[in-house]
Amino acid sequence: MSILQIVQNLTTEVAQIAWGLFLLAWGVGWALRGSPIPIFRIKRSGQDILEDAILAAFFLAIGSSIFALIQYLASQV
């Protein structure tokens, strides 16, 4: 196994874990935000988790794209 394959496998595993965590946070955020609990603080926590998950997904997508480009350029050399 070359160093390029090791880095590629590690990147893939980390990205899968990160997307899974995003989906979990997204689900928890919507569950808290839409819950029939009359406590506003809990609903606001759900909204905050949801906003953070969306921001994290954006940066994860940008980072994955940049890393894929670097990986492609490194494999061409």
Give the pLDDT band of residue 62 (cuts 50, 70, 90): very high
* Tally of structural domains, the chain: 1
Chain centroid offset of residue 7 CA: 19
Give the tens place of pLDDT for each residue, 14-46: 888 988 988 998 888 888 888 787 888 888 888
Do the domain assignments include residue 11? no
What range defines the domain where residue 52 resides?
22-76
60: left (phi over 0), alpha (psi -120 to 50) or beta: alpha
Residue 36 lies inside a defined structural domain of this protein: yes
Q: Residue 18 class from Cβ within 10 Å (0-12 exposed, 13-18 middle, 19+ buried)?
A: middle
In a domain, 35, yes or no: yes
Mean pLDDT (whole number) for 45-72:
88
In a domain, 13, yes or no: no
In a domain, 5, yes or no: no
pTM summary value: 0.73
